[in-house]
Structure 1
């Protein structure tokens, strides 16, 4: 029997396409991967990522402190710090412009801020701080511009055509916004620190919760209780707005300054910036991942700057300023309209400490007179015969004269092709004279004959004179021993060094006549501070002392007063001149005779009423100003002559003959010493005579 096998029924094909199955498989793998990643994040690294979410950043925020104060030699305040109420703004991290915009508008309703130097770009920045305005601008940008790193610049370009004219109220808000926008992250700026009214302080204080970043604070500005006349020596400080000087910006930033820090910009304020600046306060700030401050800790309250204690006596300084101004007004009244100022300096010849320095400058074109005490070190003038004591001491050093053999002919010098070279008195007044008489009557002839001897000159009247070519070096070398022609090293920046005349003419020939002019002070120029150092060197017996203004630097106590001294300026002897004590005293006697001599040509008798007696030397040099012949008149002196406590130097440049005849240089010197005597209660010498022939023996 044959069986027939029933065929197996065909399996029905799946209704789900293969591609869909494959997609399900891929989805399954993705879910598996996601589950695995979640397990990795939550189980294996959950703690680390939770810490990352709660992570905080930290930074150190610094705050300014008041600058150190400046005192005179008696402890009187010359420069103080005046505390002003201030409205401040501290810029948070990643603060949106819209928030600053809202804050500026709110704050504008509470305070009045001067609108200074508000540029169009500032107005655009403010206008773009409004979200609605920014949205209008963004609609006009292409997708590429919006995504660009320069997107804000594109926004500014578009806004430039759209910004309307701001109302006065909006300009106030824009000014506030400008200040806020200019702050760096976590830095504090002053929105208003001048003329903040009590009402403004009160109303801003009430609304601080509505003004994020705004606070009440204090700002400091320099104050001058004894007047600002001496600020040309003390210098100035930059404002918070001007900040760091551009020319030294990199250096300041490298030393921890902020761009809006106040710094000394000239003279003492600049020279002693490191001491005066103090050390900033430090606050430790923590910031979370949303750029919010979560913690602040004051780490260091800061230290006010150190104080400067000067050698200058402010009361004597004021008196010297008044003396200079008084006689300079008389100089102008005498017709010296081309004069460009008057200057005076007083030093302690035994230490180099500056007791006073005063000056005024005059603009002949506008007739304006301004304080210019710093001209004592920054301006140089041909000083005339005041250099003659140095000339005599140089000749004594070289051996061309001696104390016992120093008489020379006083016949004028006659050179071909040039005016006769003589003294101010008529030719033939003296047939001959010695060194001390030459200082007494200020003989130019005597000094020229000294130079001729030092340079081994071959002289025949009205013939060409020859001399050694090193004559200028010889004379200037002796002058330099006293500091003439070399910087003194005073602790003030900007010291000038003077002008040295040329030694040869255009044909390469030695300027013999100019060498003779140099011998009596009518060629090279010197700043007055060099003259002060020079006369001090003679007064103290031959020691060239370095001038200085800052006696000491002291720490500031918590109440702002001067505390312990941290450094003191010790008197510094730069060199000792090569003259013997006997030679120096010999020249001092000649300077004594210039005040106390009885000859009619004695030059400084106006000072012989001072008791104790003084020694001095006047100077006159021929100059030119505005194409006209003028005169520079000068004076050096020290007092009391037997035991000097003060040395002075005075110069009035470019005056006329009438003012010269009035002797204002000598009157200034006389009054400076008389005032010093009175203020320091200098006892009078018993039996003193105005025409006492011999200087009292040094103590």
Structure 2
């Protein structure tokens, strides 16, 4: 019997296909692994070992500010400083650990109200995290995002749980609060006030156990002359304040860090770009975990440049003293009449260069019975300047063609229909006056005629209405002429902001008040530029505080090479003939030097020859209640004075304004007289010292 052969078992067709697909997949996987290992292996290894390079900028001390004689007026005082520079990704737990390690080495006990409830709760949370997180149910965790869950957890920490912290724990909380304000790879000052040498040494000795902490030096601004001119020098922010929040983008785009100190007022603000210096730039290399593995200085730091001012601090202090002394005398002379005289201002300037030699503003606090510096108001506050502006009025009359050189008018009270009578001195008549005597004796009526003619009224009749061609054109012309002297327009002084004064409405009758300085208002700085323009033969120069910028030196006691010198900047030349300007100059000379001149008794008998113009303007003092409502008012006077010397070749000019005076004490004249006396006495003294120094050198 023939046996039948068994049929060989065959795998189902579909299973074969499956095996084939698996084979292909394994082949592709092996090929991919080969590509990764052989072709791209090096790239992936680099990715694994990848590091990040970040650059940190370290602040440097600001430049100094010095006066024209190289006396330091704003300097730097070195301080010990403890800083914290966190790595990227530093956690709250890690910052707390640093705070706990740092606490034994420094004293940072907080004041009673210095720690907030949140500060304390955050500390409690970190010390009891497991317990705190259990206060949220699973449903709440699912429903809330991380920040909401964290806040809810903090809310459930009770007041009792945070009420019994020890003195040591409060100090740790206070230190951590400072550490929390630091940005990654950016040094943040933890403590720089009252860091003792012992604290500095202890921290420096234990830096290896204090990640991110450094013991270094910092600085703070000093003012060797105390409050003298302090409001002009200005101020800077503190480390805690950092850059102003409202200008964050402005400063960040210019390379500042958030905790940098910047000038926020005065010359500190004006010359911020010069004084700030060049930060030291350190490049940190961190691995993918944020750990610093290397650092390298890529840009050497350089402290700020030194700014040398035009101010003469010796003269400045004397001018301040003169003003205070004369205010006291005015109070004693007539305490009731001067009961509202709280401020006085004076500017001393070189009329040919615009260099500001002294800028003084003194405010008297009647309750505290002491003076304070408010020199910045010489640029910010504007006043009616009275007859001081009559030089500009006469020149406007010449230029507009309404008067001619030597023009005469009879000075007697005038009466415009529907308005009160106007005169020069309490309804008195000065008789026939020309342009010279109108300035010398300060004739209001002469200026009224100029104003009426600029309105188009060349035939004044008593008690008749003004014959007006164009009020707007008359005001426009007058103000355009005045602007050539710096009145009512920016002076261009190198200082943040300045007031332009008040410009009244164009009312025909008010043009007469405008002509005698009783309408628009001007700042003391504008008046200083105005009289300087007259003294300087019609050239209006920019007033300035900056004399030069010097490069920094390693030794702060030394002055480096000149980086930038500030030259005289002529803004314009008045569009008036020289012979006409000389007539006003002669009128100003007669005010000071000829009998009948309104300042003759104060300046006529000096060794130097001076010229200028006095001014008295009406002012109103308002009295308010505690809610700010006006409950009473009284009329007072603004006393002003402008002048320059020597008359033949002016080297110094000044402007003085004393608002809200009363009585008969001419405080403006006394201040002006003493300022010029002091200036020339100081000049003579220095010239004598210079000759003596030369003689000593020759003898040696």
Relative to the length of structure 2, the TM-score reads: 0.88
**Cα 1:636–1:31 shift into 2, 3 Å:** same
Offset at residue 426 of structure 1 (A): 4.8
Q: For structure 1, which segment, 295-304 or 472-481, has the greater mean C-alpha deviation from structure 2 after superposition? A: 472-481
Q: Distance in 1 between the 2:583 and 2:451 partners?
A: 19
In structure 1, the residue matched to 2:694 is none
How do residues 529-540 of structure 1 correspond to structure 2 at under 5 angstroms?
Answer: 529-540=525-536
**Cα 1:366–1:75 shift into 2, 3 Å:** closer
Whether the 8 Å CA contact 1:337–1:364 is kept in 2: the answer is no
Q: Distance in 2 between the 1:135 and 1:21 partners?
A: 57
3-state SS, counterpart of residue 517 of structure 1: helix
In structure 1, the residue matched to 2:651 is 645
> Where do 5+ consecutive residues of structure 1 fail to align?
15-19, 505-510, 685-699
Whether the 8 Å CA contact 1:56–1:288 is kept in 2: the answer is yes
In structure 1, the residue matched to 2:466 is 465
In structure 1, the residue matched to 2:552 is 556
Whether the 8 Å CA contact 2:263–2:269 is kept in 1: the answer is yes
Whether the 8 Å CA contact 1:597–1:605 is kept in 2: the answer is no
Pick aligned residue for 1:89 from 84, 88, 91: 84
3-state SS, counterpart of residue 389 of structure 1: helix
**Cα 1:380–1:604 shift into 2, 3 Å:** farther
Q: For structure 1, which segment, 368-377 or 532-541, has the greater mean C-alpha deviation from structure 2 after superposition? A: 368-377
Offset at residue 74 of structure 1 (A): 1.2
For 1:150-194, what per-residue CA distance to the aligned partner results, in whole angstroms no more than 9, with x for missing partners? 414412321232151244332221121111111111111111001
Whether the 8 Å CA contact 2:598–2:614 is kept in 1: the answer is no
In structure 1, the residue matched to 2:573 is 576
Q: Distance in 2 between the 1:226 and 1:620 partners?
A: 34
Offset at residue 339 of structure 1 (A): 2.5
Q: Distance in 2 between the 1:164 and 1:36 partners?
A: 63
**Cα 1:676–1:30 shift into 2, 3 Å:** same
Whether the 8 Å CA contact 1:138–1:146 is kept in 2: the answer is no
Whether the 8 Å CA contact 2:135–2:156 is kept in 1: the answer is no
Q: For structure 1, which segment, 646-655 or 41-50, has the greater mean C-alpha deviation from structure 2 after superposition? A: 41-50
Whether the 8 Å CA contact 1:307–1:555 is kept in 2: the answer is yes
Q: For structure 1, which segment, 230-239 or 447-456, has the greater mean C-alpha deviation from structure 2 after superposition? A: 447-456
How do residues 439-588 of structure 1 correspond to structure 2 at under 5 angstroms?
Answer: 439-457=439-457, 458-469=459-470, 470-504=473-507, 511-512=508-509, 514-560=510-556, 561-588=558-585
Q: Distance in 1 between the 2:176 and 2:144 partners?
A: 23
In structure 2, the residue matched to 1:665 is 668
3-state SS, counterpart of residue 121 of structure 2: helix
For 1:183-214, what per-residue CA distance to the aligned partner results, in whole angstroms no more than 9, with x for missing partners? 11111111100111111112222322221111
Q: For structure 1, which segment, 113-122 or 344-353, has the greater mean C-alpha deviation from structure 2 after superposition? A: 113-122
Offset at residue 146 of structure 1 (A): 5.5
For 1:379-423, what per-residue CA distance to the aligned partner results, in whole angstroms no more than 9, with x for missing partners? 1000101111111222222343333x3221011111233322011
Q: Distance in 2 between the 1:535 and 1:114 partners?
A: 58
In structure 2, the residue matched to 1:690 is none
Offset at residue 35 of structure 1 (A): 7.0
Whether the 8 Å CA contact 2:310–2:547 is kept in 1: the answer is yes
Whether the 8 Å CA contact 1:634–1:650 is kept in 2: the answer is yes
**Cα 1:683–1:313 shift into 2, 3 Å:** closer
How do residues 395-406 of structure 1 correspond to structure 2 at under 5 angstroms?
Answer: 395-403=397-405, 405-406=406-407
3-state SS, counterpart of residue 562 of structure 1: coil
Aligned residues: 664
Whether the 8 Å CA contact 1:393–1:584 is kept in 2: the answer is yes
Q: Distance in 2 between the 1:423 and 1:67 partners?
A: 55
In structure 2, the residue matched to 1:375 is 377
Offset at residue 567 of structure 1 (A): 1.9
Q: Distance in 1 between the 2:292 and 2:18 partners?
A: 49
How do residues 364-443 of structure 1 correspond to structure 2 at under 5 angstroms?
Answer: 369-403=371-405, 405-424=406-425, 426-428=427-429, 430-443=430-443
In structure 2, the residue matched to 1:164 is 162
**Cα 1:591–1:31 shift into 2, 3 Å:** same
Relative to the length of structure 1, the TM-score reads: 0.88
Superposed CA RMSD: 3.1
Q: Distance in 2 between the 1:532 and 1:9 partners?
A: 127
Offset at residue 647 of structure 1 (A): 0.4
Whether the 8 Å CA contact 1:604–1:666 is kept in 2: the answer is no
3-state SS, counterpart of residue 188 of structure 2: strand
1:615 aligns with 2:616: no
